[in-house]
Amino acid sequence: MTNEEMDAALMQFVNALGIFITVGLVAFHYITSTVKDAEE
């Protein structure tokens, strides 16, 4: 694996991680707000 290939793989990993965290936060917010609305 060359240095450029490692950089490309790292960028893909970082992008995937960022997307995963974003989706996770949105899902967490949605679930918690839905639970709060249901209790009221």
Q: What is the domain count for the chain? A: 1
Question: Vertex 16, ends 11 and 20: CA angle to 5°?
Answer: 150
Per-residue confidence (pLDDT) for residue 34, from 0 to 100:
87
Domain housing 14 = 3-37
Q: How do residues 13-33 score in pLDDT, each as one tens digit?
A: 999 999 999 999 999 999 999
- For the CA atoms of the chain, what is the radius of gyration? 17
* 11-20 contacts, C-beta under 8 A, 24 or more apart: none
Sign of torsion, CA 25 31 35 38?
Answer: positive
Per-residue confidence (pLDDT) for residue 24, from 0 to 100:
98
